[in-house]
Amino acid sequence: MKNFIAHTDETRQNMLREIGYSSVEDLFKQIPVKFNDFKMKNPLSEMETQKRIKALAHKNNTEYISFLGGGVYNKFIPAGVNYVAGRFEFLTAYTPYQPEISQGTLQIIYEYQTMISRLTGMDIANASMYDGGSACAEAVLMSHRIAKGKKNKALVSNKLNPEYKEVIKTYTWAQGIEVEWFDEIPENTSEYCCVLVQYPDYYGEITMLSKPDTTFIVCANLSALSVIKPPVEADIVVGDIQPLGIATNFGGPHAGYMACKEAYMRQIPGRLVGRTVDADGEQAFTLTIQTREQHIKREKATSNICSNQSLIALSATLYLSLMGEKGFREVGIMSFNNAHMLSSLLAEKGIKTLNKNFFNEFVIEVANADEFLAKLKGANILGGIKLDDKHILVAATEMNSEEDIRAYVDAL
């Protein structure tokens, strides 16, 4: 990112011209001057307001059986996650900038980094990113720094989450990095600053990973890593931590993760917490290797991100702690089994699954996607994400019982 420069009058006029206005005043004419047209009813007491809100809330149908995926999954969340994360010591808008912040917060972040490193097979992880999309984009910029700016092209898989692709486009456009999209990795990739793939890909397919002759970025589903091989071939591993005890919440808030090999430690954006000993020889935690913009690094900063998602990272840490290695693997196996059961039952109905190898998400081919999903919705089932007129992305997790799966098939 370039240093901030305020808009000039010429810049403002160019912006207004692009959107069809001649002045700032014209731009804001669409806002009503008076707000007297609202037909407000008489005020209600607190008790009456609560009753009214509850009555409105009951109009929402929240009892759908969900088979949605595409990056946001309906996962079991132990009660202790939200109980601890909601404590006042953690539930704050403050972002940890200074190395001397609360030892409790620092230790949580340190444990989070350790868990992410173990899951991904990488040497080091940062203290979280905004979300999976920004983590992917930051990884591309990181690879550009690793190449010392000598390679201005990035190679990104077409089978990456579409939302992540849009974020990458925005980040790379601002940095002058050209993105090329691929279905199959070419043999020679040395001219690119990186190759980025998703594992499993957006359509649920698990493919073998092979290290290209450039920086290798893998966007991995952490939930899938409970049962499949971690992407140790990668130089940088990124993704979203939503499957780790974070509610769907209409799509957010989420958090991203980023891990890498030790050789690239000084290029990783965001925060790193280290463990050391204090003057009394006691264990202590501190922020370390801070190469970010608020530390007067300016153009040398690894990122212009001004915050991380430490509260969401805390929730992920609590989730993994409460589930344990055994529990985490068990729910992964349950998700795998449920998805494959659904795929098999659909096949008996003549509905083809297009995947060869998948974890808990797969693509089916139907005659009419809209009619297919509408029929399921009529049975209170969210049947998947429409990809096009004949293809639907379906996901199953440990939250889908055998009865749910059979209800899905019976509704057809």
State pLDDT tens for residues 196-236.
999 999 999 999 999 999 999 999 999 999 999 999 999 99
pLDDT, residue 306, reads: 57
Residue 257: phi and psi, rounded to 5, are -125, 155
Q: Are 249 and 340 found together in one domain?
A: no
The domain in which residue 362 lies consists of 65-77+324-410
Q: Are 86 and 72 found together in one domain?
A: no
Q: Are 370 and 238 found together in one domain?
A: no
Q: Are 104 and 222 found together in one domain?
A: yes
> Does any domain span residue 15?
no
Q: Are 159 and 210 found together in one domain?
A: yes
Residue 224: phi and psi, rounded to 5, are -65, -30
Gap between the Cα atoms of 309 and 93, Å rounded? 10
Q: Are 202 and 139 found together in one domain?
A: yes
pLDDT, residue 56, reads: 92
> Does any domain span residue 23?
no
CATH code of the domain covering residue 102: 3.40.640.10
Gap between the Cα atoms of 102 and 170, Å rounded? 35
Gap between the Cα atoms of 71 and 200, Å rounded? 11
> Does any domain span residue 18?
no
Among 263, 283, 318, identify where a domain stops.
Answer: 318
> Does any domain span residue 57?
no
**Amino acid, single-letter form, for residue 329:** R
Q: For residue 6, what are its two tokens? A: 């305020």
pLDDT, residue 67, reads: 98
pLDDT, residue 250, reads: 78
- pLDDT-derived band at 297 (thresholds 50, 70, 90) equals low
pLDDT, residue 270, reads: 81
Q: Are 286 and 362 found together in one domain?
A: no
pLDDT above 70 (res 101): no
> Does any domain span residue 41?
no
Percent of the chain with pLDDT over 70: 91
Gap between the Cα atoms of 111 and 314, Å rounded? 9
Report cis status (omega within 30 of 0) of the bond before 230. Answer: no
pLDDT, residue 139, reads: 96
Among 284, 318, 352, identify where a domain stops.
Answer: 318
Gap between the Cα atoms of 145 and 148, Å rounded? 5
Q: Are 231 and 361 found together in one domain?
A: no
CATH code of the domain covering residue 403: 3.90.1150.10
186-192-193-198 Cα dihedral, nearest 10 degrees: -30
pLDDT, residue 95, reads: 61
pLDDT, residue 128, reads: 86
Gap between the Cα atoms of 386 and 134, Å rounded? 24
Is 244 within 8 Å of 319 (Cβ atoms)? yes
Of 400, 386, 341, 365, the closest CA to residue 64 belongs to: 400
Gap between the Cα atoms of 302 and 291, Å rounded? 6
- pLDDT-derived band at 1 (thresholds 50, 70, 90) equals very low
pLDDT above 90 (res 405): yes
Q: 3-class secondary structure for the chain?
A: CCCCCCCCHHHHHHHHHHCCCCCHHHHHHHCCCCCCCCCCCCCCCHHHHHHHHHHHHCCCCCCCEECCCCCCCCCCCCHHHHHHHCCCCCCCCCCCCCCCCCHHHHHHHHHHHHHHHHHHCCCEECCCECCHHHHHHHHHHHHHHHCCCCCCEEEEECCCCHHHHHHHHHHHHHHCCEEEEECCCCCCCCCCCEEEEEECCCCCECCCCCCCCCEEEEEECCCHHHCCCCCCCCCEEEEECCCCCCCCHHHCCCCEEEEECHHHHHHCCCCEEEEEECCCCCEEEEEECCCCHHHCCHHHCCCCCCCCCHHHHHHHHHHHHHHHHHHHHHHHHHHHHHHHHHHHHHHHCCCEECCCCECCEEEEECCCHHHHHHHHHHCCEECCEEEECCEEEEECCCCCCHHHHHHHHHCC
Dump pLDDT digits (tens) for 19-34.
Answer: 999 998 888 888 877 6
Overall domain count for the chain:
2
> Does any domain span residue 248?
yes
Dump pLDDT digits (tens) for 352-388.
Answer: 999 999 999 999 999 999 999 999 999 999 999 999 9
| CB half-sphere exposure, 39, CA atoms < 13 A | 0
Q: Are 168 and 280 found together in one domain?
A: yes
Q: Are 84 and 193 found together in one domain?
A: yes
Q: Are 339 and 279 found together in one domain?
A: no
Gap between the Cα atoms of 248 and 385, Å rounded? 15
> Does any domain span residue 21?
no
Dump pLDDT digits (tens) for 147-170.
Answer: 998 999 999 999 999 999 999 999
Gap between the Cα atoms of 91 and 191, Å rounded? 46
Q: Are 173 and 261 found together in one domain?
A: yes
Is 312 within 8 Å of 246 (Cβ atoms)? yes
Among 297, 318, 339, identify where a domain stops.
Answer: 318
pLDDT, residue 27, reads: 87
Of 130, 197, 127, 204, the closest CA to residue 170 belongs to: 130
pLDDT, residue 255, reads: 92
**Is 230 or 58 the better-scoring residue by pLDDT?**
230
pLDDT mean across residues, the chain = 91
> Does any domain span residue 139?
yes
pLDDT, residue 288, reads: 83
pLDDT, residue 98, reads: 63
